[in-house]
Amino acid sequence: MTREDADRIGAWWEERRNHIQPSEFIITQKGRVLSSTYSSSPVGRADPEEVLRLMQFIARR
């Protein structure tokens, strides 16, 4: 990932180590963002089980 990629998706860029911080998205087939998670550190990444529960919740709605 480049700094430009980070800017495009609104992610935080780590200047000191020159890399993008975690940014995760759940996107529909039509391109709609259902959920986004941004982190400013290694902590805060999406948990697969939580993502599954979110998808199940959305499907029930």
pLDDT tens sequence across 5-53: 999 998 989 999 999 888 899 898 899 998 888 888 777 788 899 889 9
pTM beyond cutoff 0.75: no
DSSP the chain: --HHHHHHHT--EETTTTEEPPEEEEE-TTS-EEEEEE-SSSS-PPPHHHHHHHHHHHHH-
> Hey, CA dihedral for 26, 10, 6, 17, is it positive or negative?
negative
Residue 11: CB atoms within 10 Å: 20
Judge whether 26 and 55 are in contact, CB under 8 Å.
yes
